[in-house]
A and B are shown apart, each in its own frame.
Chain A
Amino acid sequence: MSSSLSSAEPRGSRPKRFLSPASIMIYSALLVAAIYYLIPLYVMIMTSLKGMPEIRLGNIFSPPVEVTFQPWATAWNSACTGLYCEGIKVGFFNSMKILVPSVILSIIIASVNGYALSNWRFKGSELFFTALIFGAFIPYQVMLYPLVIITRQLGIFGTLTGVVVIHTIFGMPILTLLFRNYFVSLPPELFKAARVDGAGFWRIFLQIMLPMSLPIFVVAVILQVTGIWNDFLFGVIFAGTKNFPMTVQLNNIVNSTQGVKEYNVNMAATILTGAVPLLVYFFSGKYFVRGIAAGAVKG
């Protein structure tokens, strides 16, 4: 056999083709999808940077000729939400006041729930868990009126406490599922070793389990922050007019009927409202996907 022939024979690592037909197809499909989803955002940002005269010309895709940040300032400081004209910043701070205690409270309770349900099985714990998960499948509408009555009886209807309690309760099924599945996946022998070492319920939780659970806590925070921030229904029902969250305020701005529709202000207010979950998604995409997978795959 001649040497020139043998050099053409396969040898070593297989050569990789830089752009195969398959990858061209995949990338072009992804590109189209990305553009499709980004166009609304593009239109919103462009509109929010235009003045009203320019908007009236109707070229929604064209970039602003004269960039102005006035709509953003108006949206934040002085847009009218019903009777008051203090901008959407009121809603932002209301949402924060609802968000922070709701997230902390629901995650603390759910993590202890999940830990107890995975490691300290008691008689009927499976039934308890099933009932809790079943709660996630009951439509909210069914529970709204009873909850209104209950919170009214407790004297927390239309208060910050009321809406925080409601968010905590409704976060329970999915968060407990999340934490239980995570704790079940930890090696059971660690728990046994800690028991032989004499640690009790809380010590095992705080000193052994918690330090190993950072990923799932990040996932839980992401789920709760985006979920509670985007909530409209509970905010409008349980928070009371003074505590309307940002989403409700946004609706009041956009849907106000008197005067001219200030599209640029509406766009700016909407982007401001969506900024929090958007930033959360942006900086935690990996954990967020993991959270979805953890909730969906194992069960």
Chain B
Amino acid sequence: MTKLHSVSIKDLSLNFGSISVLKNLNIEVADGEFLVLLGPSGCGKSTLLNCIAGLLDISDGQIFIKGKNVTWEEPKDRGIGMVFQSYALYPQMTVEKNLSFGLRVAGLPAAEIQNRIAHAAEILQIGPLLQRKPAELSGGQRQRVAIGRALVRDVDVFLFDEPLSNLDAKLRSELRVEIKRLHHKLANTMIYVTHDQIEALTLADRIAVMKGGLIQQLDDPLTIYNKPRNLFVASFIGSPAMNFLKGEIAGTNGSRVFRVADLDISLAGYEAQQPLAPGHTVIFGFRPEHIAISDQPGSAGRSCEAVVDLDEPMGADSLVWLKVAGKAISVRVDSGRRYQPGEKVFLIFNPAMASLFDAVTENRL
């Protein structure tokens, strides 16, 4: 039995003149899946969403929604609802008219329209706002109405284009939870574009990290976080960012080490995808929380001495900056103990949680 795909994108390319914006993309989104398209601005993530919505004509490839080829269909015939960053509420219409506009265009009977609005208003708790104009709503309320407009269309696929980027931090985290709850309740397929990695990591079933019109990695959030496929994904995901040291592979067959300057870090426990050849120039990456600070030296090959440069308390934990092999690295520690600049400590590495990248191709080894 083949798994039912809600949205399939096959060999999708988009060119604006001679500029290639999307390059031969293939994505299969399962029914009910929450897929996040994540990437820096200009990576093509919003463009891809507009292509799925049918708001942009694609240059090549096919788009299937619910098994139906919608490549040439109008947006309204694709079975999608879309939520925009700027809410895009019709300013001269009341909330109720905003919600019902698409339904009235489709010529639905008034009773059915009433039912759907009541249903959406209940789910999103916007009942008391129905007779207001968008200008009289707060940002969070507006975004809720915008989600409601997608909801009343009773569609298979929800498309979100950076829906929370215009909100302040507090509202953003509140609505983030609400969107996740909504997804659990509706179990619709959702495709969500954002440049905010916290949103991506918290909401997604799978994340597609994009750069330069290409998907760098398409995986579940933990895999993306712990086993980034290349240097770009590794450096883009994670805040505070991953530490990188450039060095080379050394050591014997049974016990490979990563060598930088006069420091050897054992790679025992690292799941390499290919044999590690000695002399190979590599980049050793490790997240600030995957390294520990200790007063005692750890087992040989797993620890080194370092000098504290700076201590940044961040509330729940602190970020300690140290110098290793002439490079600044950060370590996330419990905020209970403060470190003084110049203090000598020992770092304990955890190779199992580290990442090794080829220095030339920047791909994971």
* Contact A211:B92 (CB < 8 A) given known A187-B86, A196-B76: yes
Residues in chain B near residue A194, CB distance under 8 A: 90, 101
Asked if A39 is at the interface (CB within 8 A of a chain B CB), the reply is: no
Determine if B82 and A193 form an interchain contact, defined as CB atoms under 8 angstroms apart.
yes
Determine if B85 and A189 form an interchain contact, defined as CB atoms under 8 angstroms apart.
yes
Most buried by B among A187, A189, A196, A208: A196
Determine if A196 and B91 form an interchain contact, defined as CB atoms under 8 angstroms apart.
no
Residues in chain A near residue B86, CB distance under 8 A: 187, 189
Determine if B101 and A197 form an interchain contact, defined as CB atoms under 8 angstroms apart.
yes
> Chain A 194-210, CB within 8 Å of chain B: the 1/0 string?
11111100010001100
B147 to chain A, nearest CB (A): 12
Size of the chain B interface, CB-CB below 8 angstroms: 25
Determine if A196 and B53 form an interchain contact, defined as CB atoms under 8 angstroms apart.
yes
Interface residues on A, range: 10 to 19
Asked if B236 is at the interface (CB within 8 A of a chain A CB), the reply is: no
Determine if B101 and A199 form an interchain contact, defined as CB atoms under 8 angstroms apart.
yes
Asked if B149 is at the interface (CB within 8 A of a chain A CB), the reply is: yes
State the A residues within 8 Å of B (CB). 187, 189-190, 192-199, 203, 207-208, 211-212
A208 to B102, CA, bound (A): 12
Determine if A198 and B90 form an interchain contact, defined as CB atoms under 8 angstroms apart.
no
State the B residues within 8 Å of A (CB). 50, 53-55, 74-76, 80-82, 84-86, 88-92, 101-102, 105-106, 149, 153, 161
Residues in chain A near residue B101, CB distance under 8 A: 194, 197, 199, 207
A283 to chain B, nearest CB (A): 25
* Contact A195:B91 (CB < 8 A) given known A187-B86, A189-B84: no
Determine if B55 and A192 form an interchain contact, defined as CB atoms under 8 angstroms apart.
yes
Determine if B92 and A198 form an interchain contact, defined as CB atoms under 8 angstroms apart.
no
Determine if A193 and B88 form an interchain contact, defined as CB atoms under 8 angstroms apart.
yes
Determine if B90 and A192 form an interchain contact, defined as CB atoms under 8 angstroms apart.
no
* Contact A193:B84 (CB < 8 A) given known A198-B102, A198-B106, A199-B105: yes
Determine if B75 and A196 form an interchain contact, defined as CB atoms under 8 angstroms apart.
yes
Determine if B102 and A197 form an interchain contact, defined as CB atoms under 8 angstroms apart.
yes
Lowest 10 A-B CB distances belong to which pairs?
A198-B76, A197-B102, A189-B88, A193-B88, A211-B92, A189-B84, A198-B105, A196-B75, A196-B82, A190-B88
Residues in chain A near residue B75, CB distance under 8 A: 192, 195-196, 198
* Contact A196:B92 (CB < 8 A) given known A187-B86, A189-B85, A189-B86: no
A281 to B89, CA, bound (A): 35
Determine if B55 and A196 form an interchain contact, defined as CB atoms under 8 angstroms apart.
yes
29 contacts between A and B (CB under 8 A): A187-B86, A189-B84, A189-B88, A190-B88, A192-B50, A192-B82, A192-B88, A193-B88, A193-B89, A193-B149, A194-B90, A195-B76, A196-B55, A196-B82, A197-B76, A197-B102, A197-B105, A197-B149, A198-B74, A198-B75, A198-B106, A199-B101, A199-B105, A203-B105, A207-B90, A207-B101, A208-B90, A211-B92, A212-B91
Shortest Cβ distance from B105 into A: residue: A198
A190 to B86, CA, bound (A): 9
A196 to B102, CA, bound (A): 8
A199 to B161, CA, bound (A): 20
A190 to B90, CA, bound (A): 7
